Structure 1
Amino acid sequence: MNARTSRIALIHATRAAVQPVEAAFADLWPEAQHWSLLDEGLTQEVDRQGGLTDKISERFIRLAEYAANQGIDGLLFTCTAFGPPMEVCQQRFAFPTLKPNEAMLETALETGDTIGLVATHPVTLPMLTEQLERLARTADRSITVRPAMAAGAWEALHAGDQSAHDRAVVEAAKGLEDCDCIALAQFSMAPLADAIAASVSPPILTAPHAAVTALRDKIGRQK
């Protein structure tokens, strides 16, 4: 193990992402010191504006810059709806900085050519579809992305109706039976992996465990 404990900042735009990533750290990297910054107003603004704006992106970057100035070894974003400002941060920071789904999407590419993608937030699907297709082009691969929106799940989650959220996600995944794998876009969906796996045959990929593993390995190579 590293002589010094790695210090990791986690940036959240919804509290629903906190428990899944903390569980992943407990499973895979318990010795890391991780702490969270949460600004739910970011997601609320995206919903109000119907997407990212320059002002929202600037607010997101300021939050990440605050974390970067706290002597951290790595940073993990946990909300998928902020792709462009996350990429700005990746270019700006010298330490490993991971978008929430990078590692999971790379695993999806290794798994097959027809990739199912389940999301609960409307901004997420086109953003991650584009990210997957970009990764495929870089690898000189031809893939088919099958996006599926879990209708009403996001609203149910933030209204406190976890059961309705979970049902919507499982139902959306059932429509992707013919895919080589099914990737769950939001960290908040990770606890449903077993329930989905019981309903469909393709392997289920979740973001938190893939991201924590990738960040641990990146930081380990630097020390």
Structure 2
Amino acid sequence: MQEQARTKFFVSYCIFISSKTIWVSVMRIYLIHAVMAAMGPVQQEIHRAWPEAEAFNLLDDSLEVDRTDPQSNTSERIQALAHYAIQQGASGILFTCSAFGEAVEKAASATDIPVLKPNEAMFHQAIEQGGRVAMVATFEPAIAGMEREFLEIKQRQDSDAVLAIFCVPEARQALQSGDQERHDQLVAEKISDLVGFDAIMLAHFSTSSAKNKAQGVTDSLVLTSPGAAVAMLKRQVLKNRPYDPVQLSS
């Protein structure tokens, strides 16, 4: 029974075939980050919504700094991180930095396992909601790619959603200096000025910490990336992953 308990801790789903054999699917999920602030929110969501998955972190915090340098090959580095995760037996990969959408798409096209951009699940939620949607960002270089991705999903879904984008760079600066409370307050202050929106998206994984403050100053639905992304990745991994037989002792 101890062996069985240990096995069930590391599996996402199991089916008993006989008293000594089960079919299991071991889930190794790789979370790839460009900023440390994104790690906490997604780890918390994994533990809450998918505790049976094994989650591992890959961090290269020079990516954000190097993004504007054409000689830094950030796209190739993003793809190399995904390739490394696949070599380690990843069942699924979630990128948490919103500034590298095109590079993540290239990484996803090179493998059969689910590879998600950080915001696509949240964008689907907002577009299904429809109406006027605001996106509050703190990192301006990420905005153009995120807007493109949102509009592409909107077109595919033939939605009436209308997107308005706002940026609070001072909040990013506060977060980089280690002042998360100030970051959250600045994001909430911006949201308190927004009226007439059906949904408000917090653009980055790192801004999800402001959700409670943000929801407290608006009647609009406040959406964050970690919850939606983990739920989508879980669905895709469970659909994609085969089951393997494991022998149990009597």
Q: Secondary structure of the equivalent of 2:31?
A: strand
Q: Using the TM superposition, name which of 65-74 and 31-40 deviates more.
A: 65-74
Instruction: Quickly say closer, same or farther: Cα 1:22–1:124, change in 2 above 3 A.
Output: same
Select 1:99's aligned residue among 105, 108, 117: 117
- Alignment partner for residue 15 of structure 1, among 26, 31, 36? 36
The structure with more radius of gyration: 2
TM-score, scaled to structure 2: 0.84
Give the match's secondary structure for 2:77: helix
- Pick the aligned partner of 1:158 from 176, 196, 200: 176
Letter in 2 for 1:79: C
Is 1:210 the counterpart of 2:244 in the alignment?
no
1:84 is aligned to 2:105: no
Aligned residues: 220
Residue 39, structure 1, aligned to residue 57, structure 2: no
Superposition CA RMSD, Å: 1.5
Task: For residues 144-163 of structure 1, give each alpha carbon's deviation from its aligned partner in whole angstroms, at most 9, with x where no partner exists.
Answer: 11101013111211111222
**Cross-structure match for 1:27:** 48
In structure 2, the partner of 1:177 is 195
Task: Tell me by how many angstroms 1:181 deviates.
Answer: 0.2
Of Structure 1 and Structure 2, the greater strand share is in: 2
SS at match of 1:123: helix
Aligned 8 A contact 2:126 2:199 in 1: yes
> Which string of whole-angstrom CA distances, capped at 9 and with x for unpartnered residues, describes residues 98-136 of structure 1?
000111100001112211101110022222111111111
Is the 8 Å Cα contact of residues 9 and 67 (structure 1) preserved in structure 2? yes
Q: Please, which runs of 5 or more residues in structure 1 have no aligned partner? A: none
Alignment partners' CA distance in 2, 1:98 and 1:122:
21
Deviations 1:155-177 (A, max 9, x none): 21111122221122112222332
**1:168 pairs with 2:189:** no
**One-letter code aligned to 2:63:** L
Q: Write the distance in 2 (CA, Å) between the matches of 1:126 and 1:160.
A: 26
Return closer, same or farther for 1:130/1:176 CA change in 2, 3 Å cut-off: farther
The aligned residue for residue 57 of structure 1 is 75
Unaligned runs of 5+ in 2: 1-11, 14-23, 242-250
3-state DSSP of counterpart to 1:164: helix
The residue aligned with 2:3 is none
Bigger Cα displacement from structure 2, 168-177 vs 7-16: 168-177
- Report which stretch shifted further, 81-90 or 150-159: 150-159
**CA contact 2:113–2:240 (8 Å) conserved in 1:** no
Do the aligned partners of 1:117 and 1:125 also contact (CA within 8 Å) in 2? Answer: no
